[in-house]
Amino acid sequence: MPKRSRVVSTSAERVFAVLADGWSYASWVVGASHIRDVDDSWPDAGARIRHQVGPWPLHIKGMTSVHAVVPGRMLELHARAWPLGEAKVRLDLEPVDAATRVTLSYELIAGVGRLMPHLVQSVLLGPRSLEMLRRLEDLAVRRRAPAVR
C-alpha cells in the first residue's frame, strides 16, 4: 500500500477525535464535497458515512464504511465512489513525545484505479494524501471543544 506520514503537533486523542466525527470527513478528505448522512455508531466497525465526491454539479454519491478501528490508534476505512472505484484506507496514529505520527495508507481495490501499479498510485495520489494529512492536522490542532449549553 502506498503510505504517507506526518508528525502533527497534538495528541493522538485529538487526532482521533476528528476521525471519530463523521461530519468532519469532508473537511479533511480531499475530493469529498458534502456529507449526506453519518451513522450514529460512527466510527464503530460497520458504520457508514454517505457523502458526495467532486464539484457541483458533477457530484458522485459515495459511501465510506469502517472496516476496523482501535480507538485512539487506528481507523481502517472502505471508501466507494462509483464509477470512480473503491479504496481501502488506513490511518495509524503513533504517539511521538507530545505529538503524533499519522500514517495514511491506501490501496485502490476496485475500478480503473486498481489496474495501476502501486508505484503509479503512490506518485499520482501522494500529493492528495499529504494534503489530507495537513487538513487533518489543522482540524486536530485548532479545533475547539464544543460549547456546553
Exposed / middle / buried, residue 69 (Cβ in 10 Å: 0-12, 13-18, 19+): buried
**Over the stretch 58-103, which tens digit does the pLDDT of each residue have?**
888 999 999 999 999 999 999 998 777 899 999 999 999 999 999 9
Q: Is residue 17, in this structure, part of any structural domain at all?
A: yes
Strands 74-81 and 85-96: antiparallel
Domain limits at 29? 3-142
Q: Is residue 148, in this structure, part of any structural domain at all?
A: no
Residue partners of 123: CB distance under 8 A and separation at least 6: none
With bands split at pLDDT 50, 70 and 90, how would you rate the model's confidence at 36?
very high
Mean pLDDT of 13-18: 96
Lowest-confidence segment of 1-5, 14-18, 137-141 by average pLDDT: 1-5
Q: Is residue 19, in this structure, part of any structural domain at all?
A: yes
Mean pLDDT of the chain: 90
With bands split at pLDDT 50, 70 and 90, how would you rate the model's confidence at 38?
very high
Contact indicator for 14, 143 with CB cutoff of 8 Å: yes
Whether 147 has a pLDDT exceeding 60, the answer reads no
Largest CA distance in the chain: 52
With bands split at pLDDT 50, 70 and 90, how would you rate the model's confidence at 15?
very high
Mean pLDDT of 24-28: 96
- Give pLDDT, residue 20: 97
Reported in sequence order, the residue ranges of 16-73 that DSSP labels E, i.e. its strands, are 32-38, 48-53, 60-70
Exposed / middle / buried, residue 74 (Cβ in 10 Å: 0-12, 13-18, 19+): middle
With bands split at pLDDT 50, 70 and 90, how would you rate the model's confidence at 146?
low
- The helix or strand, by DSSP H or E, that contains position 124, with its residue range, turns out to be helix 118-142
Q: Is residue 147, in this structure, part of any structural domain at all?
A: no
Q: Is residue 96, in this structure, part of any structural domain at all?
A: yes
Number of domains in the chain: 1
Q: Is residue 37, in this structure, part of any structural domain at all?
A: yes
Q: What angle do CA 20, 24, 28 make, to 5 degrees?
A: 105
CATH code where residue 24 lies: 3.30.530.20
Q: Is residue 149, in this structure, part of any structural domain at all?
A: no
